[in-house]
Amino acid sequence: MDMSFTDDELAFQSEVREFLRDELPSEIVDKVAKGIELGKDEVERWHAILNARGWLAPNWPKSFGGGEWNAVQRHIFDTEAAAANAPRIVPFGLSMLGPVLQKFGSKEQQDHWLPRILDGSDWWCQGYSEPGAGSDLASLKTRAVRDGDHYVVNGQKTWTTLGQHANMIFCLVRTDPDVKQQEGISFLLIDMNTPGIEVRPIILLDGSDEVNEVWFTDVRVPVENLVGEENKGWTYAKYLLTHERANIAGVGFSQAGLAAVKRMARAENHNGKPLIENPHFAARVAQVDIDLRAMATSNLRIISKAAAGGAPGLEASMLKVKGSIIRQEINDLARRVAGPYAMPFASEALEGANDTIPDPLGAGPVAAQYFNNRKLSIFGGSNEIQRGIIAKVTMSGGRA
Amino acid sequence: MNFELTEERQMLQDTLRRYLREKYTTAVRNDILTSDAGLSADIWAELAELGVLGALFTEEMGGFGGAGFDLAVVFEELGRAGVVEPVLDSALMGGRLLAAAGKSDMVEQVIAGTLHLAVAHGEPGGRYDMDYVHTKADGGVLTGRKAVVMNAEAADHLIVSARDGDAIALYLVAKDAKGVDIQGYPLLAGGRAGEVTFDNTPAEPLGLSLSDLQAATNLALVAISAEALGAMESATHLTKDYLMTRTQFGRPIGTFQALAHRMADLLIELEQARSAVINAAGYLEAPDADLHLSATKNLIGRIGRLVAEESIQMHGGIAMTQEYELAHIAKRIVMADHRFGDTDYHLERFIALSAA
Ligand SMILES: Cc1cc2nc3c(=O)[nH]c(=O)nc-3n(C[C@H](O)[C@H](O)[C@H](O)COP(=O)(O)OP(=O)(O)OC[C@H]3O[C@@H](n4cnc5c(N)ncnc54)[C@H](O)[C@@H]3O)c2cc1C
CATH superfamily for domain B118-208? Butyryl-CoA Dehydrogenase, subunit A, domain 2 (2.40.110.10)
Side chain identity at B249, as an amino acid letter?
F
Closest CA to A171 of A188, A195, A193, A159: A188
Intra-chain end-to-end CA distance of chain B, in Å? 28
pLDDT cut 90: percent of chain B above it: 97
3-state SS of A346-389 is CCCCCCCCCCCCCCCCCCCCHHHHHHHHHHHHCCCCCHHHHHHH
How many whole angstroms from A241 Cα to the centroid of ligand 1?
Answer: 13
State chain B's maximal CA–CA distance in angstroms: 74
Q: Are B30 and B91 in contact (CB under 8 A)?
A: no
Distance from the CA of B317 to the center of ligand 1, in angstroms?
A: 6
Whether residues B147 and A384 touch (CB distance < 8 A) is answered with: no
CATH of the domain spanning A248-343+358-396, picked from 3.60.21.10, 3.40.50.300, 1.20.140.10, 3.40.1390.10:
1.20.140.10
**CB-facing half-sphere around the CA of A67: CA atoms within 13 A:** 20
For residue A357, count other CB atoms closer than 10 A to its CB. 16
Q: What CATH architecture applies to the domain A123-233?
A: Beta Barrel (2.40)
Distance from CA of A357 to the nearest CA of B (A): 6
Interior CA angle at B218 toward B215 and B220, to 5°?
Answer: 115
- Cα–Cα distance, B33 to B192 (Å, whole number): 9
* pLDDT confidence of residue A243: 67
Interval B263-312: pLDDT, tens = 999 999 999 999 999 999 999 999 999 999 999 999 999 999 999 999 99
- DSSP assignment of A74-135 equals HHHHHHHHHHTTPPPPPHIIIIIIHHHHHHHS-HHHHHHHHHHHHHTS--EEEE--BTTBSS
Calpha distance B133→B144 (Å, rounded): 9
What are the residue ranges spanned by the domains of chain B? 7-116, 118-208, 212-355
pLDDT surpasses 70 at B5: yes
| Any B CB within 8 A of A335 CB | yes
d(C-alpha A13, C-alpha A75), whole Å: 10
Flag whether the pTM goes above 0.90.
yes
Chain A residues with CB under 8 Å of B126 CB are 269
Instruction: Decide if B235 contacts B333 (C-beta within 8 A).
Output: yes
* B303 neighbors B272 (Cβ within 8 angstroms): yes
Output the CA torsion sign for A220, A224, A228, A229: positive
Point out the ligand 1 atom lying closest to the alpha carbon of residue A380: 17
Helices (H) and strands (E) counted in chain B, each on its own, are: 11, 10
Q: CA of A390, closest CA in chain B: separation in Å? A: 13
3-state SS assignment for residue B131: coil
Is the minimum CB–CB distance between A202 and chain B shorter than 8 Å? yes
CB B198 within 8 A of CB B159: no
Q: Where are the domains of chain A?
A: 7-89, 123-233, 248-343+358-396
Preferred mutation among B89, B119, B188 to probe A, highest tally of A CBs within 10 A: B188
Report d(CA B307, CA B300) in Å as an integer: 10
A110: left (phi over 0), alpha (psi -120 to 50) or beta: alpha
Confidence of residue B92 (pLDDT cuts 50, 70, 90): very high
Cβ of B261 under 8 Å from any chain A Cβ? no
CB B351 within 8 A of CB B295: no
Chosen for mutation from B150, B185, B195 (greatest number of chain A CBs closer than 10 Å) is B185
DSSP string of A28-54? HHHHHHTTPPPPHHHHHHHHHHHHHTT
Determine the atom of ligand 1 nearest the C-alpha atom of A129.
11
B333 interfaces chain A, CB cutoff of 8 Å: no
pLDDT 10s digit of each residue in chain A, 400 long? 777 889 999 999 999 999 999 999 999 999 898 888 899 999 999 999 999 999 999 989 999 999 999 888 988 999 999 999 999 999 999 999 999 999 999 999 999 999 999 999 999 999 999 999 999 999 999 999 999 999 999 999 999 999 999 999 999 999 999 999 999 999 999 999 999 999 999 999 998 899 999 999 999 999 999 999 999 999 999 888 766 555 788 999 999 999 999 999 999 999 999 999 999 999 999 999 999 999 999 988 887 776 655 556 788 899 999 999 999 999 999 999 999 999 999 876 555 555 689 989 988 899 999 999 999 999 989 999 999 999 998 998 655 5
d(CA A226, CA B220): 62
Residue A117 backbone zone (phi > 0: left; psi -120 to 50: alpha; other: beta): alpha
Among A191, A188, A215, residue whose Cα is nearest residue A202: A215
Q: Are the CB atoms for A325 and A377 separated by under 8 Å?
A: yes
* Of A204, A345, A367, Cβ closest to residue B321: A204
Specify which residues B202 forms β-bridges with: B141
Q: Which pLDDT score is estimated for A353?
A: 52
Instruction: State which of A140, A157, A244, A379 you would mutate to test the pocket of ligand 1, scoring each by most atoms of that ligand within 8 A of its C-beta.
Output: A379
Q: 3-state DSSP: chain A helix, strand, coil percent, rounded to 5? A: 50, 15, 35
- pLDDT digit string, tens, across residues B215-229: 999 999 999 999 999
Inter-chain touch B185–A346, beta carbons under 8 Å: yes
How far does B19 lie from chain A, in Å, by closest CA?
A: 26
Q: What is the pLDDT of residue A311?
A: 54
Q: Are B130 and B217 in contact (CB under 8 A)?
A: yes
**Does an H or E element contain B295, and which?**
helix B289-315
ipTM of the complex: 0.97
- From B150, B153, B160, B143, select the one nearest B183 (Cα to Cα): B153
The residue-averaged pLDDT of B319-331 equals: 96
Whether CATH 1.20.140.10 fits B212-355: yes
Nearest to B189 by CA among B60, B269, B78: B78
Instruction: Measure A379 CA to ligand 1 centroid, in angstroms.
Output: 5
pLDDT, position B102: 98
Residue A326 vs residues A252, A297, A319, A329, B176: alpha-carbon distances, Å: 12, 14, 10, 5, 48
State the pLDDT at residue A188. 98
Which chain A residues are Cβ-neighbours of B312 within 8 angstroms? 374, 378
Angle at B85 between CA B84 and CA B86, to 5 degrees: 110
Give me the active site residues of A, please. Answer: 244
* Alpha carbon nearest to ligand 1 atom 11, residue: A128
Region B324-348: mean pLDDT is 97
Minimal Cα–Cα distance from B105 to chain A, Å?
32
- Please answer whether residues A210 and A262 qualify as being in contact, where contact means their C-beta atoms are separated by less than 8 angstroms: no
Q: What does CATH list as the number for B7-116?
A: 1.10.540.10
User: Beta A211-222 vs B247-248: how paired, if at all?
Assistant: unpaired
What's the gap in Å between B253 CA and the centre of ligand 1? 12
